[in-house]
């Protein structure tokens, strides 16, 4: 009888944990939805010129994103893993997948992705490293 009770408790614990993980992912997925402008960017330790970022937009809808620079659009899909620290984002477009980390703070979003390298572990880039850091701000309707 104790074995059955222990097994039942384990199943409840595991399924409860899975439900929490799913809820966290869904919570961030809901929060990331909408249009964002890029306020600053950095690649390999070098800040991007502000002039080059003024027409850059990123829009998240469902599990898809659109990266728009002027008139050029790149469409793809994304997934979030809110159970990791820092939280992880994977973005796929044009047969490429970028592995990154993200942080949502109110109307702000930071994304740091590795370009051909491993997933970054923080929100910084270094000279010689193939990483891109974006600081985005939610667009007001």
List pLDDT tens digits, range 84-120. Answer: 999 999 999 998 999 999 999 999 999 999 988 689 9
Please give the mean pLDDT across all residues of the chain: 84
Question: What CA–CA distance (Å, rounded) separates 65 from 76?
Answer: 5
**Percent of the chain whose predicted confidence (pLDDT) is above 70:** 81
Please provide the CATH number assigned to the domain covering 2-138.
2.40.128.280
Question: What CA–CA distance (Å, rounded) separates 60 from 14?
Answer: 31
Find out whether 137 and 34 touch, Cβ atoms under 8 Å: no
- In which element (H, E) is residue 53 found? helix 50-53
Chain centroid offset of residue 90 CA: 7
Q: What ranges do the domains of the chain cover?
A: 2-138
Token digits of residue 86: 């820092």
Kindly report the pTM of this predicted structure.
0.79
Mean pLDDT (10-residue bins), the chain, 141 residues: 34 38 68 97 93 94 97 97 97 94 97 90 90 96 78
């Amino acid at each position: 009888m104790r074995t059955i009770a222990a097994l039942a408790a384990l199943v409840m614990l595991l399924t409860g944990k899975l439900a929490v993980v799913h809820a966290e992912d869904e919570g961030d997925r809901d929060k990331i939805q909408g249009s964002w402008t890029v306020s600053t960017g950095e690649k390999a330790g070098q800040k991007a010129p502000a002039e080059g970022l003024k027409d850059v937009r990123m829009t998240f809808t469902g599990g898809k994103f659109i990266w728009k620079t002027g008139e050029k659009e790149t469409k793809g899909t994304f997934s979030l893993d809110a159970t990791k620290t820092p939280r992880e984002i994977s973005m796929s477009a044009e047969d490429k997948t970028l592995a990154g980390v993200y942080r949502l703070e109110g109307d702000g979003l930071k994304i740091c992705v590795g370009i051909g390298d491993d997933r970054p572990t923080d929100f910084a880039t270094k000279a010689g490293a193939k990483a891109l850091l974006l600081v985005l701000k939610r667009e007001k309707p």
